[in-house]
A and B are shown apart, each in its own frame.
Chain A
């Protein structure tokens, strides 16, 4: 597996502001994903982060609200824009590794609270 770190680990933000979450992996990965986990709930895929091109968003998620970058094979960012209290969640990145098809490994998550 890989060592995956996320920054920040948690944050408290004001309504209407934006927060950028970073995901860093210690080795090159094939796939990178961003998930949202609302309090006490399951994980919902936001988007697949594509290296050097626009992310692929799932139904219900749009680029204007959740812009994503992936400039290389080990790093990605997710921005939560124009936040509202409904955006309070844990945001998780996950990665797929070369030679390990289908398997995803998750980062520790970023706990976001919007006031």
Chain B
């Protein structure tokens, strides 16, 4: 059972544009939602994370929007740059879950000049 669904699978955006990646979850016990960025040959790097008590969190060009009632959250990358080209994973963990993360399927982002 896929507990965190991520879309799209791949995304091509022009330089300077906005990249949007969406995730949906099923388990209402999830209370921590991080996004990871992974470059080829590297481990995932934590990008930004949010908890359900806020609807939006912004760090630089990266913003998470969170909709608790819809059980959805999304990553927005403003002014996308070629250096943002990577695979992005959303994830979720739950209260009392021992910090275990459940990952989405990943989105391969390519930012073109």
Interface residues in chain A, defined as those with a beta carbon under 8 Å from any beta carbon in chain B? 1, 4, 31, 33, 41-45, 48, 56, 58, 92, 94, 96, 101-109, 111
Give A107 to B42 CA distance when docked, in angstroms.
8
**Number of B residues whose C-beta is below 8 Å from A?**
21
Contacts A31-B98, A48-B98, A103-B34 hold; do A42 and B46 have CB atoms under 8 A apart? Answer: no
The residue from B32, B49, B98, B103 contacting A43, defined by CB atoms under 8 A apart: B103
B20 CB to nearest A CB, Å: 19
The residues of A that contact B34 with a CB separation of less than 8 Å are 102-104
B86 interfacial by beta-carbon distance below 8 Å: no
Q: Mark B51-94, 1 if CB is under 8 A from A, else 0.
A: 00000000000000000000000000000000000000100010
Give A108 to B41 CA distance when docked, in angstroms.
8
B45 touching A106, Cβ below 8 Å: yes
A102 touching B43, Cβ below 8 Å: no
The residues of A that contact B36 with a CB separation of less than 8 Å are 106
A-B pairs with beta carbons under 8 Å apart, 26 shown: A1-B46, A4-B43, A31-B98, A31-B99, A41-B105, A42-B105, A43-B44, A43-B89, A45-B101, A92-B44, A101-B99, A102-B32, A102-B34, A102-B49, A102-B93, A103-B34, A103-B49, A104-B34, A104-B46, A105-B46, A106-B36, A106-B44, A107-B43, A108-B43, A109-B43, A111-B41
Give A108 to B46 CA distance when docked, in angstroms.
13
A42 touching B104, Cβ below 8 Å: yes
The residues of A that contact B41 with a CB separation of less than 8 Å are 109, 111
B106 touching A42, Cβ below 8 Å: yes
The residues of B that contact A106 with a CB separation of less than 8 Å are 36, 43-45
B99 touching A102, Cβ below 8 Å: yes
